[in-house]
Amino acid sequence: MTFIPEMSQMPELISQAATILLVRQHTSRDRLEVYMTKRPTTMRFLARHYVFPGGKMDAEDEDPRYLTRSMPLTTACNPDSLPLSYWVCALREAFEEVGILLARNAAGELIDSQHYRSQRAELLAGRLRLIDLLEAEQLVLATDLMRYFGHRLTPRHVSKKRFDTRYFLTILPAGQTPEPHPGEVEEDGWYDVTTALEGVARGDMEMVPPTLDSLRVIGRFQSAEELWHSVEGVGTPTPEELA
């Protein structure tokens, strides 16, 4: 007779993940906006929730070739000395999900993500890997435009599918325009903190606590430069998330 352990005895599976906050200065110049997407109702995880681009880490994200295809990580931007794979995961997901490829060409100039639409389609179809695209086009990931923003964990009461997520922040370079993938995004837009929090209060927008906490942090700043040079972030897993 085969013994089947009770659910309470089975080991819990928590996936490693990364997410990226794309921030820009509002046209009024006295506040910031953050890019968010609404997950489709068909999604098994956080359906209808407003989130930042991101997702589960893949084995590909640990490819050692990324060490020579990424800008060096500084202590200021990576105070916890995280493995490069988390940074790669966040950038890969941003490219797949919303079409933003933060990378530099051989001359050190930032590329225009829209010039790589066909490669993105190949990547989404599983016929191309990001590292192969970088090597073929002689690009390096612009990890120098990201800084660590914190570490949170999906609470058990929110979802049985849990993610141990590292958060990153970038001030989106001028000229970059998100192009969301319809299979993963129902709606998208740039939101200032006040508008987003009012949407949550009205019940029009669903968000998990780490997303809300991230918005509140951003809301304390009026300047993108001040936010970038601060050490503020979304913190570490709360007691509720660790319970």
pLDDT above 60 for 54: yes
- Residue 41 confidence (pLDDT): 77
44-65 average pLDDT score? 91
- Residue 217 confidence (pLDDT): 96
- Residue 11 confidence (pLDDT): 55
pLDDT band at 46 (very low <50, low <70, confident <90, very high): confident
159-163 average pLDDT score? 84
153-173 average pLDDT score? 91
27-33 average pLDDT score? 83
Q: Is the dihedral of CA 115, 119, 125, 126 positive or negative?
A: negative
Instruction: Give the β-pairing of 162-171 and 187-192.
Output: unpaired
8-19 average pLDDT score? 76
- Residue 12 confidence (pLDDT): 66
pLDDT band at 225 (very low <50, low <70, confident <90, very high): very high
DSSP labels for 208-233? -HHHHHHHHHHTT-S-HHHHHHS---
| Average of per-residue pLDDT values in the chain | 91
pLDDT above 60 for 27: yes
The domains found in the chain, sorted by start residue, are: 13-242 (3.90.79.10)
pLDDT band at 114 (very low <50, low <70, confident <90, very high): very high
- Residue 45 confidence (pLDDT): 78
Q: Is pTM, for the whole model, over 0.75?
A: yes
- Residue 3 confidence (pLDDT): 39
pLDDT in tens, 194-207: 999 999 999 999 99
**Alpha helices per DSSP H over the chain:** 84-98, 117-124, 130-137, 193-202, 209-218, 224-229, 239-242
